[in-house]
Amino acid sequence: MINKLLGIEERFIKLEQLLGDPVVIADHAKYQKCLKEHGELSKLVMAFREHKSVLIEIAEAKELLKDSDSDIREMAKDELDSLELKKERFESELKLMLMPKDPRDEKNVILEIRAGTGGEEAGLFAADLFRMYSRYAETRGWKVEIIESNSSSAGGFKEIVAMIRGKGAFNSFKYESGIHRVQRVPETEAQGRVHTSAVTVAVLSEAEDVELQLNPADIRVDVFRSSGPGGQSVNTTDSAVRVTHLPTGIIATCQDEKSQIKNKVQAMKVLKARILDAMVREQDEKRAAQRKDQVGSGDRSGRIRTYNFPQGRMTDHRIGLTLYRLESVMSGDIQEIVDELKTYYQAIALKEAQ
One domain for residues 142 and 283: yes
Nearest Cα to Cα of residue 112 among 205, 196, 212: 205
Residue at a domain's end among 79, 98, 117: 98
One domain for residues 91 and 114: no
Query: Is residue 103 a part of any domain in this protein?
Result: no
What are the C-alpha distances in Å from 53 to residues 56, 60, 252? 5, 11, 55
pLDDT of residue 211: 56
Q: Are strands 178-184 and 157-165 parallel, antiparallel or unpaired?
A: unpaired
Helix or strand (DSSP H, E) at 183 = strand 178-184
Could you count the other beta carbons within 10 Å of the beta carbon of residue 250? 17
One domain for residues 16 and 40: yes
Nearest Cα to Cα of residue 109 among 175, 47, 155: 175
pLDDT of residue 354: 57
Could you count the other beta carbons within 10 Å of the beta carbon of residue 256? 22
Give dist(CA 246, CA 16) in Å, integer. 51
Give dist(CA 112, CA 168) in Å, integer. 18
One domain for residues 235 and 143: yes
> In which residue ranges of the chain is pLDDT below 70?
100, 188, 190, 208-211, 226-238, 283-301, 350, 352-354
pLDDT of residue 229: 47
Laid out side by side, the sheet with 219-224 consists of 219-224, 240-245, 250-254
Which residue range forms the structural domain that includes residue 275?
109-290+300-353
Bridge partners for 179 per DSSP:
200, 303
| C-beta of residue 260 within 8 angstroms of C-beta of residue 239 | yes
Give dist(CA 32, CA 8) in Å, integer. 19
Laid out side by side, the sheet with 303-308 consists of 143-151, 157-165, 109-115, 195-205, 178-184, 303-308, 313-316, 321-323
On whether the pTM is more than 0.85, the answer is no
**The dihedral of CA 74, 75, 81, 87: what is its sign?**
negative
pLDDT of residue 294: 32
Residue at a domain's end among 77, 98, 119: 98
What CATH number does residue 26 fall under? 1.20.58
One domain for residues 72 and 202: no
One domain for residues 49 and 10: yes
The pLDDT tens digits for 59-82 are 998 989 988 888 888 999 889 989
One domain for residues 48 and 117: no
Residue at a domain's end among 98, 123, 156: 98
